[in-house]
Structure 1
Amino acid sequence: MAAQRNPAGNARSSPSGRQPEHFVVAFPGYQRPWATWIAHRLEAHGHRASLHRWDPAREQPLEDALRDLTLASGRVLLVLSEWFFQLGPRGEGEWNTALRGFIADHADQFSAVNLTNKPMLPAVAVLEPVDLWGIGEAEAERRLLNRLSLTPSAAPLPSVGSGFRYPNDPPAVWGEVPRRNPRFTGRDDLLNQVQQRLMDAERDASVCALVGMAGIGKTQLAAEYAHRFSSDYDVVWWINSDQRGTQRDRYAELSTELGLRTGSEPGERIRAVREALRKGEPSGRWLLIFDGWEETEEAARILPRGGPGHVLITSRNRGWREIADLQEVPVFDRAESTGYLMRRAPHLTAGEADEVAVEFQDLPLQLAHAAAWLGQERMDVADYLRRVRSGELSTLEQESAPGDYPHKMFTSTSMLINKLRRSEPRAVELLMLCTRFAPGRIPIGLVRGLRASGLPEELRWITSDRPDWPRALDSLVNYSVLTRDSRSLSVTSSGEPGFQQESVLMHRVVHSIVSELTAGEAREIYSDVVCQVLASADPGDPVDSRNWARYAELMPHLEPSGVLASTTDASMSLVLNCLAYCYNSGEYAVGTDLAERVRQSWSARMSPDTPQMLGLTAHQTTILRASGRFREAYDLDRVRLDQLHAAPDPDDMALLSANNGLASDQRFLGQYAEALTTQRQVVEAATQVLGPEESFTLNARHNLGTTLRLHGRYQEAYEVDLDTLRKREQVLRARHPATLHSGTACARDLRMMGRYQEALARQELGMRLHIQVLGEQHIQTLWARHNLAMCQYRAGSDTQDTRAVLQELKAQHERVYAQGHYNTLALITDYGNFLRARGWLSEARDLIAEAEDGYRALVGTAHPVPTGMQSNVGLVLQAEGDRDGALNLFEQALIGLTTVLGEDHPWTLGCALNAGGGRNFTGRVEEAAELDRDTLRRARRVLGPDHPLTLSSQIALAADLRALHERTEAGKQEEDALQRLTATLGVQHHHTLSARQRSRPYWDFEPFLG
């Protein structure tokens, strides 16, 4: 490779009148950060420096390779570590000969820096390397200049902010990147290509996906990239992505490291992280690495939207080409293969290494196992390859070998296991235990926390203090079957790391092969042990967000371990707690899938009326309801109730829970009358059984307030919600999330009652508390922000920023919720109504149509909400001039809501107001006056004489009367309405101003599912 000029800048004049010198900084690829820093500091003092990656081929004589370095003008500076002397790789004898011969003869042309505290060859002394290991930047620079006999410049270029971080100074945030592999071989060109792609990418497209088959070395490549180019970044964060829950929780943890103020819900923390990364605050240069991310569906919700950083993804899925810059990861080239083998098994000749590389087709994972075997055993290569080629397997094993890698690796692993059975049987037992976990990260240290009495006799050695455990683990690591991992699940009571922190990594290919090879060997015993491990690691409180990271790490192991099929109380309790975690953390898709798999497993073993099955249904319906799958939740709750009623002695609490769930289902499905009856019964029963201030009772009362609001009985809803709020303030304190939720409910009630200023004052206070307690991006905070925006709009205090606020809320909802979620549809509707009222008809039309289609898909056409949405669509048509089309929709909405809700429901009265306007605009004035008179009479009785909807009906009637030339009555109605509007809303409120201008009033339908 030709020497490259360092990009730090042009050399300046050397101090003290000396001419600038030129240095060739020769380095192995993995030491590029050090070489870059050295070159930069030399140029800062007025000298010239060229970077030269030096990794000579094995077939090139070492003296020739060293002589090539001297061809450039100037001195050669070697960047040394203990691995430097295996470049090629080469034996100690060859290096000692070169050091004592060629380098000694040209000592004036060579110098060196030492970057390790490990011993090196004695003959290295000829280079007189200066030690830069473990010291600060200023001292390292002083030593470097002193070694090269250079006088420091009086005013050197600064290093701070130069873009060349001192390699001993790690990034400010370093997020559990796997340990650097000292055996990492080659891949320099590939790593440089990846870096160049990321650096050259547009700001919003700095995403690169490393794609290739299993065992190709994608994870190792990503880890080496993080270590090698760490000086380019302030933040480096590694995210294991083979499980969605683990990925999200790990990603969310970055919010803490960045010092972001957020709540505890993962989705909210992820949103905050994405926004911080996009802005480059507080860290401008960042690198995210998503390891093992196979599904692309969540990419839009996870990946940062631009920003001054880079994203690196490892995956087998080439579908990433639609999202990221794809980089295919090939097998090793032959030089990389032979170099790797000879470093790990130094007794191999170049020819033998080449033969092994050919046999395993240069696949890195297979070469790792071959090198470990040959290096540990110093086995003769011919004998090793003979055994591999002969396939020392039974016919059954050969038929069951997985198909995405050759049989030869299957054979090699079988040979290793057979060898360990003879020499280290404990290692085989530990390996079989690992296969009962999922591949990837395995919290193996948790096994040692079990009581010996709870283990089968043959495994009790695990909990003893004898050296069996570390010896067995070391054997598996040395043979590259496992890799030690630095992540931990727990610490000791003193806060220090304990034995339970020990975790390992097991590649999915290795996991699959070992599982096949050990199938049937006391698998149930090992499954039972792992089930015990996972159950004992259950934090026991899935509501507490501090436990969510633990649940996310346990969940991938539930199915492989057999926990889902276990009928022990501890295992079933863990499963139910994991479902509760999914609901509380907002992982609805994960929870839905888990609940269905659990139901399939448990239904085959248990009666549907057992407490565990009933508990499963309770969690499943809650998750389904939160996901918008109301009918499925309703069907399950009905079955649960039937089972409870059929029991000879049904549990009171189970009945309360089931009925409370059923009432929620009925509410979402639009069965408002049934929901109100059921919810009242739940509140009464809970009050008698549990007491009025118990948490369940207060939750039931909150649901009662919601149901009353859906009935249009706003005053009653407010009284219930206000009482619930006061009790929650006493029992849970004012800043509890449930208390804050009650505050939002009260503000919404006040707004529905037309008491806009009171609603606004309460919601403004509640909004501040939501941000302080839950953070700006929490789901409950978004709901409160939505209500605040509507309070401001209705109170007439909305500003020119209201559109921007609603637009940002829409974007946040779409990032938080799945497409078509009912909360997003409600926000879209209100945003569309606002745009229509302000004259942005095209955007309004699209939003209202999207919401109407979404509601129909969600709850069907007979539901009150899609029926009422027709009125909003009609208002858009009317604003566009299609008065006949608008009237048709108004009349359909009026008929539909009258049928399902009755004539006196506020939603029906609002549709009647719009229908009256439609009749007036199409010349059917007498029919309009008749409808508006009836609407006014009903609104006064239901909502009161001063409610905005009542006064809008009165203004509308006055307009009809004027059109009918009944000016006296029209004047009386108009004057009375104007006085009331001025008294209740104020003289400058837009309703009052519109009435004075005699603009026809309308009613926006605000959909709400419950």
Structure 2
Amino acid sequence: MPPSTSSDTTLMGEQQVSHWQVPFERNPYFTGRETLLLHVHDLLNAQKPTTAHRPVVLSGLGGIGKTQLALEYAYRYREEYSSVFWLQADTHELLVTNLVTLAQFLDLPTKDDVDQTMTLAAVKRWMQTHTHWFCILDNVQDLEKTRLLLPSGIQGHVLFTARSMMSNNLLLKVEPGTLEPEEAVQLLLRRGGQLAEGVALDVLDERTRQLATRIANELLGKLPLALDQAGAYIERTQCGLEGYIERYQQRRTRLLQERGSVSPEHPDSVAATWSLSFIEVEQTNAAAADLLRLCAFLHPDAILEKLITEGVEELTPALQPLAENLFARDEAMEVLFTYSLLYRNAVEKTLSIHRLVQVVLKESLEESVQREWAERTVCLVNRVFPESSSQTWQRCQQLLAHAQVCAESIEYYRMVTPEALRLLDVTGHYLHDRGHYHDAEVMLQQLLAIQEQLGEKDQLAVAHTLNTLGELARLQGKYQEAQSLYERALILREKMLGSHHPDVATSLNHLARSYHHFARYAQAETLYQHALTIRGQVLGVAHPDVAHSLNDLAELYREQGKYQEARPLYERALMIREQVLGPEHPDTATSLGNLAGLCREQGRYEEALPLCERAQAIYEQVLGAEHPDTAMGLNNLAELYAEQGKHEEALPLFQRSLTICEEALGPEHPSTAMSLNNLAGLYEAQGKRDQAIRLYKRSLAIGEKVLGAKHPDIVFSLNNLALAYSNQSNFKYAEPLFQRALRIIIEALGPEHPTTVKILLNYALMLRKAKRNRKADEMEARAKAIQDLQEDQRHLREGEETA
């Protein structure tokens, strides 16, 4: 069916339809469902206009008619809305693409923004500030991810369709069943051209009614999709009801013999019906049959027609003319449209196929033929999937769902071809670059398994994948796993490349990061220095990899309070990145943010602010508003404001940073714990101590679970939670937390670390409040002794530098 899209304002009853974006024409054969349509209408309209509306979800078996029901509702009640939209929600990525398209359709200011998140936020705002709109989200797979893309206060009506029943109190659930017996017969006969619209079954002779009842109710089980397909076959072939039964019985027996029992995902009647259509398509147009087979091995929605034109080298001889001849392509598609096996969105230039059609078609093929088509499809998607960069992200996003389906085929058919390996690699790196770390890890784990099967053929490729997986594990806070992966990569690289190669330096640097996270500072410094030496000698002192080592080494010094050693390394790394990578590169932003953090810790706020703001602007523009690095930049800027008492400026930044971390990294990631800790600190400063304590506890629990009970990173949560209790005069809870924090920090970082001083002074403050002045004097004396020692060391270094 061609798309139906309009932005014209037409008067419909008492309501003007300003925006109409529904990609399908009204189904002229829609039959029955009157009670169900009224029920959905009542559910949507019974809610109070002053409250946020709850979505209604249609859920049930594939082919039960959920999509057609939603489509009919949109047309039947369009006069009650000013705007009607249709969004495909099969995957999070596809829904995002549809929402971006919606922003363009609504002509929102951010419609062409490179940052998709700004565009999504604009759509959310539109939905929150407009009323009398209706939105269908078809084939929702992940409820939680879908809800996050919608505003919390929905002012319009939302209808979901989903195959599985969703258990959520925020939804009003409706589960359509099969059609009523009489409705099923009507649909079959109307679709088959044997009953005119509006004509009752009573006018038909008894024999016709009996045959139709047998087909609709007994053979096809009153399933709307099966009835539609059967009717299309009867109309196309003019075989009549008896002829259809004869063909069905013959084909059904043969199919069951070839495939065994049919899975519950599609009743055998549907499989048999579609198989008849497949045979007819094959006899009519060989190119159409091959196009259908190709689509069966892709994601069912948003199949780019460009796949055919740009991947011609991977197509079958029958399909290749379709890439070069537009009319031949239209002829092939027309055959498939006739049988309702394929749909086309002329505006988006995409095709779609029902997922049950895919299942039935694939199972009708011999195993060897299935493998051929799966391999052909993998080669096709690999050919058009680009290397990941900010310039190719839009194209990668359009192809992502198809690449993920291909990954499933690669695993199922155990492909070890170069094309399969490359597709897994580029898809995994794209997901990594967009901050989808878990999905990237799954993709690259699959790649690693294949590479390891190949044995000694390409150990360097194995090392590269191991190293990337180590980075993904580190970014997800799985530090022990990351260390193991880094060590495996280093062993392979030293074996294949020797000890003085840039790739070996990369492994050394990454392994040093792992030691750094475990507070094994001496080992980390040795490896950082070793990596820096190799990179400087082999790549040159102005290479970006040298900047990486400089930056990481500076971070190590800063964490130990060695600010004088850290600053020149930060500045040198920033200079290299600005000159070599450019002033707008994310790595440049990292250097800016780290230098700003150093200035903040030293109390040099005026110097820190422009650095922080410039870093954040780069993250937002280049990586997008939902990337974990963007969350880090927001957190850094919020901390700068908070330390200066600018709480109103800091609060929304902390809150947004936390939201990004929870959504992108998960609720138990160290970055999430950091965001919770910092937001709690702001609440504490505002006097909201109960809220602060709740967040501190959650942050501490995450740190203990992920990092371990003795990791220095949890000291901040311990110290801050103790302070919060102290401010409430709950000294019996505060003191053991201070004592535990001191034990951890002294054991990990030594008694002279700046953090040790902070904890000692906070502990002393608590003791003063508890009227334990002698103990408080001891803590303050210890803190002063450390400060004096640090001051003496600073003067000594300055004297050495002057000399």
TM-score normalised by the chain length of structure 1? 0.69
Contact 1:250 1:549 in 2 (8 A): no
Structure 2's unaligned 5+ residue stretches are 196-203, 796-803
Q: 1:258 aligns with which of 78, 84, 108?
A: 108
1:903–1:434 Cα change, 3 Å: same
Contact 1:702 1:742 in 2 (8 A): yes
Shift of 1:379: 0.3
1:340-365 alpha-carbon deviations (Å, 9 max, x no partner): 33333224656254443223222111
- Is 1:403 equivalent to 2:249 in the alignment? no
* Structure 1 equivalent of residue 200 of structure 2: none
Q: 2:355 aligns with which of 505, 508, 528?
A: 508
Q: 2:225 aligns with which of 351, 354, 365?
A: 365
3-state SS of paired residue (2:352) = strand
> Which structure has the bigger radius of gyration?
1
| Aligned counterparts of 2:256 and 2:663: Cα–Cα separation in 1 | 52
* Structure 1 equivalent of residue 697 of structure 2: 849
Aligned ranges 1:383-402 → 2 under 5 Å: 383-390=243-250, 391-393=252-254, 395-397=256-258, 399-402=260-263
* Structure 2 equivalent of residue 304 of structure 1: 151
* Structure 1 equivalent of residue 53 of structure 2: 205
Shift of 1:277: 4.1
What percent identity do the matched residue pairs reach?
23
1:197–1:825 Cα change, 3 Å: same
| Aligned counterparts of 1:639 and 1:547: Cα–Cα separation in 2 | 34
Contact 2:256 2:262 in 1 (8 A): no
Shift of 1:318: 1.3
Aligned ranges 1:449-488 → 2 under 5 Å: 449-451=310-312, 463=323, 465=325, 469-486=329-346, 488=348
- Is 1:436 equivalent to 2:282 in the alignment? no
3-state SS of paired residue (1:540) = coil
**Which residue type is aligned with residue 258 of structure 1?**
L
* Structure 1 equivalent of residue 545 of structure 2: 696
- Is 1:375 equivalent to 2:226 in the alignment? no
Contact 2:619 2:630 in 1 (8 A): yes
- Is 1:218 equivalent to 2:66 in the alignment? yes
**Which residue type is aligned with residue 215 of structure 2?**
V
3-state SS of paired residue (1:290) = strand
| Aligned counterparts of 2:389 and 2:133: Cα–Cα separation in 1 | 32
| Aligned counterparts of 1:836 and 1:771: Cα–Cα separation in 2 | 29
Number of residue pairs matched? Answer: 773
3-state SS of paired residue (1:871) = helix
What root-mean-square deviation, in Å, do the aligned CA atoms of Structure 1 and Structure 2 show? Answer: 3.7
| Aligned counterparts of 1:466 and 1:301: Cα–Cα separation in 2 | 40
- Is 1:164 equivalent to 2:15 in the alignment? yes
1:851–1:197 Cα change, 3 Å: same
- Is 1:643 equivalent to 2:504 in the alignment? no
Q: 2:584 aligns with which of 725, 735, 744?
A: 735
1:431-458 alpha-carbon deviations (Å, 9 max, x no partner): 3333332444444652343455x55667
1:559–1:394 Cα change, 3 Å: same
**Which residue type is aligned with residue 578 of structure 2?**
E
* Structure 2 equivalent of residue 599 of structure 1: 448
Shift of 1:208: 1.1
Aligned ranges 1:26-425 → 2 under 5 Å: 164-165=15-16, 170-171=19-20, 174=21, 177-202=23-48, 203-230=51-78, 232-233=80-81, 236-255=84-103, 258-260=108-110, 264=114, 266=116, 269-270=119-120, 272-273=121-122, 275-277=124-126, 279-280=128-129, 284-347=131-194, 351=209, 352-359=211-218, 360-390=220-250, 391-393=252-254, 395-397=256-258, 399-425=260-286
| Aligned counterparts of 1:466 and 1:933: Cα–Cα separation in 2 | 85
Range with greater deviation from structure 2 (906-915 or 648-657): 648-657
* Structure 2 equivalent of residue 669 of structure 1: 518
**Which residue type is aligned with residue 692 of structure 2?**
A
3-state SS of paired residue (1:165) = strand
1:79-116 alpha-carbon deviations (Å, 9 max, x no partner): xxxxxxxxxxxxxxxxxxxxxxxxxxxxxxxxxxxxx9
* Structure 1 equivalent of residue 750 of structure 2: 902
* Structure 2 equivalent of residue 572 of structure 1: 421
1:432-491 alpha-carbon deviations (Å, 9 max, x no partner): 333332444444652343455x55667655556497654443222212222224465xxx
- Is 1:749 equivalent to 2:609 in the alignment? no
* Structure 1 equivalent of residue 707 of structure 2: 859
| Aligned counterparts of 1:666 and 1:653: Cα–Cα separation in 2 | 20
Contact 2:138 2:162 in 1 (8 A): yes
Shift of 1:324: 0.9
Shift of 1:887: 2.8
1:768-823 alpha-carbon deviations (Å, 9 max, x no partner): 66666666665444333322232223234x25665566456545554554212222
**Which residue type is aligned with residue 110 of structure 2?**
L
1:646–1:269 Cα change, 3 Å: farther
1:941-987 alpha-carbon deviations (Å, 9 max, x no partner): 4368999xxxxxxxxxxxxxxxxxxxxxxxxxxxxxxxxxxxxxxxx
Range with greater deviation from structure 2 (892-901 or 715-724): 715-724
* Structure 2 equivalent of residue 937 of structure 1: 785
Shift of 1:516: 1.2
| Aligned counterparts of 2:112 and 2:603: Cα–Cα separation in 1 | 33
3-state SS of paired residue (1:937) = helix
1:588–1:246 Cα change, 3 Å: farther
| Aligned counterparts of 1:252 and 1:703: Cα–Cα separation in 2 | 37
1:222–1:830 Cα change, 3 Å: same
Q: 1:550 aligns with which of 389, 398, 416?
A: 398
1:423–1:558 Cα change, 3 Å: closer
| Aligned counterparts of 2:511 and 2:785: Cα–Cα separation in 1 | 36
| Aligned counterparts of 1:347 and 1:671: Cα–Cα separation in 2 | 80
1:354-394 alpha-carbon deviations (Å, 9 max, x no partner): 44322322211111110111000000211211332453315
Contact 1:293 1:314 in 2 (8 A): yes
| Aligned counterparts of 2:684 and 2:652: Cα–Cα separation in 1 | 15
1:505–1:278 Cα change, 3 Å: closer
Range with greater deviation from structure 2 (432-441 or 621-630): 432-441
